[in-house]
């Protein structure tokens, strides 16, 4: 029987055309935002790159060293400059008071405030909170810098200056990503908040308390928190999902009532320095293994999934040796090196206070010396437990020396490690943003150093947290000749702009 074509009714025809029109509109919107919508933004960023570099130069010129109260005025000046830039983007600013800090001499000094800022809000959009800091480590030309640390200098595509990578460059990149949307009159795909501090390099005093105080207000509508205060492990972009914690110790040994002449008293008294050196020498062996009982036993076992993740990370051992000036590592394979930088605890001895360290010779027996060392912690290690283990171990060793000197062990810093869930939707957005800008899948990496605010945000707010670095592996944060490449600075700005879009495409809670 032949098939008889039925004439479509006006109703069915209208429904078909409506569906077709909706499909076309959806496709157009998708193309405008994910494709051509980002292309003009990327083009704007490229065209403005010289202006963006100039702004970084202006920021680097402010010596916002937070290590001493004497320079906190410069930190406050830097915070004001940052706030002015956010205001230009239409942001509302609050300078949140975080109280005072008592110094070692007993003086109470008021801390620089923390910037809490928010751009125009749309209740239908997810909210991203961006953390950053605009204080820097101390820097002097005579410390070994090739250029003036506070004069941004471009050499072979690299932008040298204190704070270029840690963390003024990334903070500006976020602000420039916002500016790019606004300049092209494109709606920013997410709501944006900022929390910018000026005391990160000195321990972020007061920030933990502020987070708790504002958890039910400033953080209440935040969906995602992003931190860009670290670096890649190679030339390949990366997403960071974990950091180690830090327990910092002072080991004080006090002997006679005053410094003594080694020719007169040497060989007849128990010397504080000799006791201290013996204690410090008992902390770690020649393979880097911590000798304090209980430390290694507390480490969470390495899982199969983690082991595979390490195998896939791009990391050139020989290039890393060259960049760092190291002739030989403690371990031979990429996986072992990275695991001991990120996944296992380490102990480093930093110095001795009270000992003679000036050029020349001085044959003195110091009255009191203070050794300083730290233990980088990993998951399953608790700072309070580490403090007990270290104190007990050192007291036992000291007792075995039968020294009449006095031993005192203190732990002024006890920051916990941070670990995120790499399956979290924010990591999906981060991965897609990297793919859009750099055309590669990012490595999933850890950070061997400590960024305490990540764990604080996680514990207090319960929000999704990601670290989205744009710094290069050879940026030299905290070191002489700190830099960020022009490419990372500009491409990183594009990455942040793409990240806004990718977050908006995640299924909303």
Catalytic residue annotation: 135, 200
In angstroms, rounded to a whole number, what is the distance separating the alpha carbons of residues 351 and 355?
9
In angstroms, rounded to a whole number, what is the distance separating the alpha carbons of residues 96 and 112?
9
Query: Using an 8 Å Cβ cutoff, are 196 and 133 in contact?
Result: yes
In angstroms, rounded to a whole number, what is the distance separating the alpha carbons of residues 460 and 213?
10
In angstroms, rounded to a whole number, what is the distance separating the alpha carbons of residues 2 and 124?
54
Q: Tokens 């109470």: give the residue.
A: 108
In angstroms, rounded to a whole number, what is the distance separating the alpha carbons of residues 132 and 225?
11
Q: Tokens 């670095």: give the residue.
A: 469
Residues 6 or more apart in contact with residue 319 via CB below 8 angstroms: none
Residues paired with 467 in a beta bridge: 227, 240
Distance separating the N- and C-terminal Cα atoms of the chain: 54
Residues 6 or more apart in contact with residue 477 via CB below 8 angstroms: 165, 166, 231, 471
Phi and psi dihedrals of 347, rounded to 5? Answer: -125, 125
Burial 353-362 (b: 16+ CB within 10 A, else e): ebbeeeeeee
In angstroms, rounded to a whole number, what is the distance separating the alpha carbons of residues 497 and 447?
24
Q: What is the 3-state secondary structure (H, E, C) of 415-451?
A: ECCEECCCCCHHHHHHHHHHHHHHCCCCEEEEECCCC
In angstroms, rounded to a whole number, what is the distance separating the alpha carbons of residues 262 and 420?
54
Q: Two tokens at 31?
A: 């193309």
Q: What is the DSSP string of 311-352?
A: HTS---HHHHHHHHT-S--SSSSHHHHHHHHHTS-EEEEEEE
Radius of gyration (C-alpha) of the chain in whole angstroms: 27
Element spanning 309, H or E: helix 304-311
In angstroms, rounded to a whole number, what is the distance separating the alpha carbons of residues 342 and 334?
12
């Amino acid at each position: 029987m032949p098939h008889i074509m039925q004439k479509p009714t006006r109703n069915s025809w209208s429904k078909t055309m409506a569906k077709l029109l909706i499909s076309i509109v959806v496709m157009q919107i998708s193309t405008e935002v994910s494709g051509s919508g980002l292309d003009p933004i990327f083009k704007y960023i490229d065209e403005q790159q010289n202006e963006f570099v100039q702004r970084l130069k202006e920021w680097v010129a402010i010596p916002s060293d937070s290590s001493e109260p004497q320079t906190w005025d410069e930190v406050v000046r830097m915070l004001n400059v940052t706030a002015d830039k956010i205001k230009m983007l239409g942001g509302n600013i609050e300078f949140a008071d975080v109280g005072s800090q008592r110094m070692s001499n007993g003086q109470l000094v008021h801390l620089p405030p923390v910037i809490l800022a928010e751009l125009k809000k749309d209740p239908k959009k997810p909210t991203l909170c961006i953390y950053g800091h605009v204080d820097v480590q101390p820097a002097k030309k005579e410390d070994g810098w090739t250029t003036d640390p506070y004069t941004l200098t471009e050499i072979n595509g690299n932008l040298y200056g204190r704070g270029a990578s840690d963390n003024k460059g990334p903070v500006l990149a976020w602000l420039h990503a916002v500016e790019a949307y606004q300049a092209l009159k494109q709606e920013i795909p997410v709501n944006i908040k900022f929390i910018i501090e000026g005391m990160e390099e000195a321990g972020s005093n007061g920030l933990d308390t502020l987070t708790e105080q504002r958890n039910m207000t400033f953080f209440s509508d935040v969906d995602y928190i992003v931190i860009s205060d670290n670096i890649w492990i190679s030339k390949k972009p990366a997403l960071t999902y974990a950091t180690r914690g830090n327990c910092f110790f002072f080991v004080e040994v006090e002997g006679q009532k005053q410094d003594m002449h080694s020719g007169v008293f040497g060989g007849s008294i128990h010397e504080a320095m000799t006791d201290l050196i013996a204690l410090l020498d008992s902390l770690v062996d020649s393979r880097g293994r911590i000798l304090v009982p209980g430390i290694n036993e507390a480490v969470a076992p390495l899982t199969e999934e983690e082991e595979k993740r390490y195998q896939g990370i791009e990391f050139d051992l020989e290039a890393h040796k060259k960049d760092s000036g190291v002739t030989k590592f403690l371990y031979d394979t990429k996986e072992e090196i990275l695991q001991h930088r990120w996944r296992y605890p380490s102990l480093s001895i930093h110095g001795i206070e009270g000992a003679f360290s000036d050029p020349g010779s001085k044959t003195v027996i110091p009255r009191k010396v203070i050794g300083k060392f730290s233990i980088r912690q990993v998951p399953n290690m608790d700072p309070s437990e580490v403090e007990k283990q270290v104190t007990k171990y050192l007291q036992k060793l000291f007792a075995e020396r039968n020294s009449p000197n006095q031993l005192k062990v203190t732990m002024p810093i006890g920051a916990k490690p941070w670990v995120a869930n790499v399956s979290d939707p924010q990591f999906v957005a981060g991965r897609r943003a990297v793919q859009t800008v750099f055309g590669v899948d990012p490595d999933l990496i850890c950070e061997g150093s400590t960024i305490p605010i990540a764990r604080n945000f996680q514990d207090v707010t319960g929000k999704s947290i990601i670290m989205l670095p744009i710094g290069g592996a050879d940026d030299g944060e905290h070191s002489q000749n700190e830099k960020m490449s022009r490419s990372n600075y500009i491409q990183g700005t594009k990455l942040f702009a793409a990240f806004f879009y990718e977050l908006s495409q995640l299924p909303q809670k």
